[in-house]
Amino acid sequence: MNKIYLDNAATTPVKKEVLDAMLPYFMESFGNPSSVYQIAQINKKAVDEAREQVAKTLGANANEIFFTSGGSEADNWALKGIAEAYKDKGNHIITSKIEHHAILHTCEYLEKKGYEVTYLDVDEKGMITPEAVEAAIKENTILISIMYANNEIGTINPISEIGKIAKAHHIIFHTDAVQAMGQVRIDVKEQNIDLLSLSAHKINGPKGVGALYIRRGLKIANLIHGGGQERGRRAGTENVPGIVGLGKAIELAYEDFDAKIEKLTVLRDKLIDGLLEKIPYTRLNGHRIQRLANNVNVGVEFVEGESLLLLLDMNGVAASSGSACTSGSLDPSHVLLALGIPHEKAHGSIRFTLGGMNTEEEIDFVLEKMPSIVERMRSMSPLYEDFLNKNK
Ligand SMILES: *Cc1c(COP(=O)(O)O)cnc(C)c1O
């Protein structure tokens, strides 16, 4: 049986070109970029080139890119580093209820340290409005952190508008763009973004490497203390192969961009429309249009998302019932709850996230299997039976 991977928001396979670019830096060119001899200078050059590749994609300068161990570290650094560096200016942070846990749990940590955090509500499509951001600004607000696109429901936020508001109020603006990378064109200068987090493994790069863009002129406290790497701001011998992989992955993520997005959108829409049409009592979670080209998230009533996943897995299909971090726990997704979806309905949601390798045949296969799987599950559900009896 062929395996069908539809969980690209959790992680993605490394592309062949990315791996090929990384391989020389494990055995042949293994030097420490901080060393002065020639064999290490190759490594320094490789890191500098990757920094250029990331900067170019974001419309930033190379000296504004700092490599990290991934998206979570970039998020932690942005929030803790700015909170600390600007604590004499204020202690209020604005974020949203649908952020990734790397943001939410960092905010909870900062609250314990005496910071005040406003968690903005979203509308029923998962959108954060610029008006809500502006209304939450106070005298002591130092930072706004709003994700570019949500990892569960794929909703894309009005980042340029929020950037304008932040700039007009002289407040620092961070965005977690981990999911938006490769699916949305980003220009940090044009969009007034002061800090931006990204991660390699969500864009066909290696796991354990990411970056934080920090606008020139911003103060930020260090998260990792030690040697003078990353211009004294992030210590630790550079993950040279990982950084090279990130540089290559980000470059490839924007190659043939329009054609790639078009292909994904067609497959996405086929899957959304097919599921809603073929399975009664289903709805789309998230925004229909302002949505990542690879994200499908549907609520299926009278079924348990986790059981649905297992049955799909038995058919060779890998999907998710929310974020990978929350699966395994019985709490419904905080994102779906923030949309106003009741607990029992939030449980019955399933997320398919497409990648460059997915084919129309695979989508057809899912559309063929899903209705019978759901029907079988519902036939065993007393809730569904009650519902049918009441509606006779
Ligand atoms: C995956 C993800 C992260 C975490 O990135 P890691 O590199 O896995 O630490 C942060 N934010 C969002 C939106 C993500 O999807």
306 and 374 fall within a common domain: yes
Same domain for 249 and 306?
Answer: no
| Cα 45 to averaged position of ligand 1 atoms, centre (Å) | 27
Nearest 5°: the CA angle 204, 209, 211 is: 100
Q: What is the domain extent for residue 247? A: 16-253
Q: Which of 138-152, 278-292, 340-354 has the lowest mean pLDDT?
A: 340-354
- At which of 253, 272, 293 does a domain end? 253
Over residues 81-140, the pLDDT tens digits come to: 999 999 999 999 999 999 999 999 999 999 999 999 999 999 999 999 999 999 999 999
**pLDDT of residue 76 exceeding 90:** yes
Reading the block at residue 375, the tokens are: 């029907």
Atom nearest to 324 CA in ligand 1: 1
Do 269 and 148 reside in the same domain of the chain? no
> Do 317 and 169 belong to one domain?
no
- Residue 345: is it exposed, middle or buried by C-beta count within 10 angstroms (0-12/13-18/19+)? middle
- In this predicted structure, what is the pLDDT of residue 1? 58
Query: Considering its fold, how many domains does the chain have in total?
Result: 2
CATH number at residue 304: 3.90.1150.10
Q: Which residues pair with 246 in a beta bridge?
A: none
Q: What is the pLDDT of residues 236-264, one digit of tens each?
A: 999 999 999 999 999 999 999 999 999 99
Determine whether the shortest distance from the Cβ of 31 to ligand 1 is under 6 A. Answer: no
Residues marked as catalytic? 325
Q: Does the Cβ of 348 fall within 6 Å of ligand 1? A: no
User: What per-residue confidence (pLDDT) applies to 329?
Assistant: 61
Average pLDDT, the chain: 95
Distance 350 CA to ligand 1 centre (A): 19
- CA–CA separation, 158 vs 161, rounded Å? 6
Give distance in angstroms: CA of 104 to centre of ligand 1: 12
Question: Cα angle vertex 91, ends 90, 96, to 5°?
Answer: 125
Helical H segments across 86-188, by residue range: 101-112, 130-136, 159-168
Determine the pLDDT at residue 383.
87
DSSP-assigned beta bridge partners for residue 172: 143
Torsion angle (degrees, nearest 10) of CA 112, 116, 121, 127: -100
- 181 and 317 fall within a common domain: no
Cβ count within 10 A of residue 66: 21
CATH of the domain at 68: 3.40.640.10
pLDDT at residue number 323: 43
User: Which residues have C-beta within 8 Å of that of residue 288, sequence separation ≥ 6?
Assistant: 125
Q: For the CA atoms of the chain, what is the radius of gyration? A: 22
Do both 232 and 161 map to the same domain? yes
Is the CB of 70 within 6 Å of ligand 1? yes
* pLDDT above 50 for 143: yes
pLDDT in tens, 156-175: 999 999 999 999 999 999 99
Residue 98 sits in the same domain as residue 71: yes
Strands 141-145 and 172-176, by their bridges, are parallel
Q: State pTM to two decimals.
A: 0.97
- What's the confidence (pLDDT) of residue 328? 56
Q: Is 205 in the pocket of ligand 1 (CB under 6 A)?
A: no
Same domain, yes or no: 164 and 230: yes
Residue having the nearest C-alpha atom to atom 3 of ligand 1: 71
Q: What is the mean pLDDT of residues 36-40?
A: 89
**Domain-ending residue, one of 253, 287, 319:** 253
**29 and 156 both lie in a single domain:** yes
Q: Can you spell out the DSSP letters for 235-283?
A: -S---HHHHHHHHHHHHHHTTTHHHHHHHHHHHHHHHHHHHHHHSSSEE
Digit-coded pLDDT (tens) for 322-343: 544 445 566 789 999 999 998 8
* Percent over 70 (pLDDT), the chain: 97
**Do 75 and 223 belong together in one domain?**
yes
CA of 200 to the centre of ligand 1 (A): 9
Please answer whether residues 209 and 69 qualify as being in contact, where contact means their C-beta atoms are separated by less than 8 angstroms.
yes
- Ligand 1 atom with the smallest distance to the CA of 209 is 7
Both 228 and 263 in one domain: the answer is no
Q: How far is CA 81 from CA 64, 95, 288, in A?
A: 15, 16, 36
Last residue of a domain, one of 231, 253, 275: 253
- Yes or no: say if 95 and 145 are a contact pair by the CB < 8 Å rule: yes
* pLDDT tens digits along 365-383: 999 999 999 999 999 988 8
Q: Which long-range contacts (CB under 8 A, 24 or more apart) does 16-19 make?
A: 17/248, 17/252, 18/204, 18/205, 18/206, 18/245, 18/248, 18/249, 18/252, 19/245
Q: In terms of domains, do 374 and 260 share one?
A: yes
Tell me the pLDDT tens digit for each residue of 182-239.
999 999 999 999 999 999 999 999 999 999 999 999 999 999 999 999 999 999 999 9
Q: If you measure from the C-alpha of residue 201 to the centroid of ligand 1, how many angstroms do you get, rounded to a whole number?
A: 9
Q: Supply the residue whose CA is at minimum distance from atom 10 of ligand 1.
A: 71
C-beta 96 within 6 A of ligand 1: no
| pLDDT the model gives residue 324 | 42
Mutate to test the pocket of ligand 1, among 72, 128, 152 (most ligand atoms within 8 A of CB): 72
Q: Examine the pLDDT at 26 and tell me if it is beyond 50.
A: yes
